[in-house]
Amino acid sequence: MAAADMHHRTAEFRQLFTKVLTQMQQFIGTANDVVILSSSGTGAMEAAVSNLTSPGDRVLVLSAGKFGERWTSVAKAFSCVPEVVSAPYGSTVSVEEVKAKLTPDIRVLFMQATETSTGVRHDVSGIAKLLKGSDTLLVVDAITGLGTTHLDTDADGIDLIIGGSQKALMVPPGLSYLAASGRAWKRMEQSKHSRYYFDLPKERKNQVKGESAYTPSVALIAAFGAALDYLEAQGGGDLPAARRLLIDSAERCAAMTRAAVQALGLKLFATASPAAAVTAVKAPAGADSTDVVKRLKSDFGAVIANGQGEMKGQLFRIAHLGYFDYMDTISLIGALEHVISAIAPSSNYELGSALAAAQRVFADSARQTQAAAR
Ligand SMILES: *Cc1c(COP(=O)(O)O)cnc(C)c1O
């Protein structure tokens, strides 16, 4: 980020930006053009709505948590008429339920890959298959999905996929990025919304030349470059391979965590379709999850998240994205054993039982990886 003294209308910056945009395509796993915006993730969600729709458009929102609800709010803010397929917090929506609400006049379907507020994974591929051959565009908020979930953007035909700097890419907050399909770029030409700053075709025109329409966040783009170089090195110079390793690591840490918390007698908040980005766990009976979050911080310096909105106090969320790996997961689980026995003294487990459960998951996963390599 010390490269922030670079002027953005120079060959030096164009070279950096062009390299980052190419690496970003490999990180997402797409041949579609990528655009980086100077905003948090919600800015890219808004840009998707304002560029792909027109006032009065009927859209379908898949909603099972705070971020699904955000799609509905943004769609309404741009005078779209959202139809909502919803599931209770902690659950996902079935493909059949989506199919039942999908009529040919639906212009865009908006969904999350992973609903970070509840720790749920949605079936992106299953829903993408429903849309094949129709005029309905598929927009996926993969802000915590990218780098934690195996997504096949081009084969599934995801028309617009969104990521954010502060999630699996391990960069400070402040940038969002997206990749849009040929169909999506065409649809943008028809949009009747007025827009100025978040004008995606205008950004694309500039970014293919290594420029951005307005002053870019040079420091954060340099940080993207460093993060993507770091990942690429982990994949032996192969960024798509590095992405797969990163995702496998998140999946493994999530599986370790699920086994561990259940060994402590705790219940998962998302049972049927848990995400690998984050594991949401119900607070011990009679306890407040705020105490779990506070004690992990005060006693162990470990940071986890509380429930969001009305879920605050009911659940806590453990992240697996980005640099969180085996070492972080094991130490967090060790600390959690102490915290839960302090907060819920009636909970009945031997110290080390959650660690043992996590260790077994890791050992099985390592054995499978070795067998696959053989
Ligand atoms: C973090 C996140 C966002 C974006 O939130 P910002 O605060 O705007 O960066 C959107 N969707 C999901 C699923 C997220 O996890």
Nearest-angstrom CA–CA distance, 202 and 214: 10
Do residues 272 and 203 share a domain? no
Residue 217 inside a domain? The answer is yes
Domain end call among 202, 219, 234: 234
pLDDT of amino acid 373: 82
Contact 240, 29 (CB under 8 A): yes
Answer yes or no: is the C-beta of 119 below 6 A from any ligand 1 atom.
no
The Cα 155–Cα 29 span in angstroms is: 10
My answer on whether 89 and 224 are in the same domain is yes
The alpha carbon of 301 and the centre of ligand 1 are apart by a number of angstroms equal to 24
Structure tokens at 315: 């659940």
With bands split at pLDDT 50, 70 and 90, how would you rate the model's confidence at 267? very high
- pLDDT (0 to 100) of residue 216: 96
Q: Which atom of ligand 1 is nearest to the CA of 42?
A: 8
State both tokens at 21: 């945009």
Q: What distance in Å separates the CA atoms of residue 208 and residue 215, rounded to the nearest whole number?
A: 16
pLDDT digits (tens, 9 = 90+) for 1-10: 988 889 999 9
The domain boundary residue, chosen from 234, 249, 272:
234
CA distance 283 to 291: 9
């506070």: which residue's tokens? 294
Say yes or no: CB of residue 308 within 6 Å of ligand 1. Answer: no
Confidence of residue 76 (pLDDT cuts 50, 70, 90): very high
The answer on 85 and 20 residing in a single domain is yes
For residue 3, tell me if it sits in a domain: no
* Mean pLDDT of the 344-362 span: 94
pLDDT tens, residue by residue, 170-222: 999 999 999 999 999 999 999 999 999 999 999 999 999 999 999 999 999 99
Residue of 58, 57, 118 whose CA lies nearest to 86: 118
Query: How many domains does the structure of the chain reveal?
Result: 2
Residue 305 sits in a domain whose CATH number is 3.90.1150.10
pTM: 0.97
43 Cα nearest atom in ligand 1: 8
H helix count then E strand count, the chain: 13, 12
Picking from 234, 268, 296, the residue at the C-terminal end of a domain is 234
Task: Give the span between the Cα atoms of 251 and 235, in whole angstroms.
Answer: 17
Q: Give yes or no: residues 343 and 273 share one domain.
A: yes
Based on the domain organization, do 204 and 251 belong to the same domain? no
Structural domain of 352: 239-373
Q: From the CB of residue 16, how many other CB atoms can be counted at a distance below 10 Å?
A: 20
pLDDT at 66: 98
pLDDT at 169 > cutoff 90:
yes
Residue 245 lies in a domain: yes
Is 2 part of a structural domain of the chain?
no
Percentage, residues of the chain above pLDDT 70:
100
Residue 347 has pLDDT above 90, yes or no: no
User: Domain check: are 253 and 222 in the same one?
Assistant: no
Is ligand 1 within 6 A of the CB of residue 112?
Answer: yes
Do residues 243 and 229 share a domain? no
Instruction: In whole angstroms, give the CA distance from residue 20 to residue 26.
Output: 10
